[in-house]
Amino acid sequence: MRGRGQVVFTAAVVVVVVAAVAGGLFLLGSPAQERIRRIDGQRVSDLSAMAGAVDLYWTRHTRLPASLEELAAEPGAYVKRGDPVTQRPYEYRAREGNAYELCAAFDRESTASQPGGYYYRDFWAHGAGRQCFKLEAQEIKR
């Protein structure tokens, strides 16, 4: 009898472990989905850093850089010019006055549960595919 009870107990433990793993994958998503979410997060982080670099450039020169290359050449400016997966360049376009656009291609739509708080969810929220964000350069107060 002892052997049969041990088999039942082992089977029950296996069922619980399998259910826990399945539940975790359901709640967190598959490793592939997590990788896609992380890569899209990196794209947002890159664009956000570029926006900061544009603000720095604007503060120093009171004009927008003509190109991403000019922005990347600015001392102290962090500019990652290419997509972390495709290596295609991010897009930057100067507009009128202090207005400009930053564009990137995303693998999937952002969700309300993505990290970064209020600012990320509202401003950097994006759909799947090529998305552009309209921004205005701000002077950095010292």
32-45 pLDDT, tens digit per residue, is 888 888 999 999 99
Question: Can you give the pTM of this predicted structure?
Answer: 0.74
Predicted local distance difference test score (pLDDT) of residue 30: 73
What is the identity of the amino acid at 130? R
Q: Which residues of 39-57 are buried (b: 16+ CB within 10 A; e: fewer)?
A: ebbebbebbbebbebbbbb
| Per-residue pLDDT band at 12 (split at 50, 70, 90) | confident
102-134 pLDDT, tens digit per residue, is 999 999 998 765 554 444 557 889 999 999 999
Predicted local distance difference test score (pLDDT) of residue 119: 45
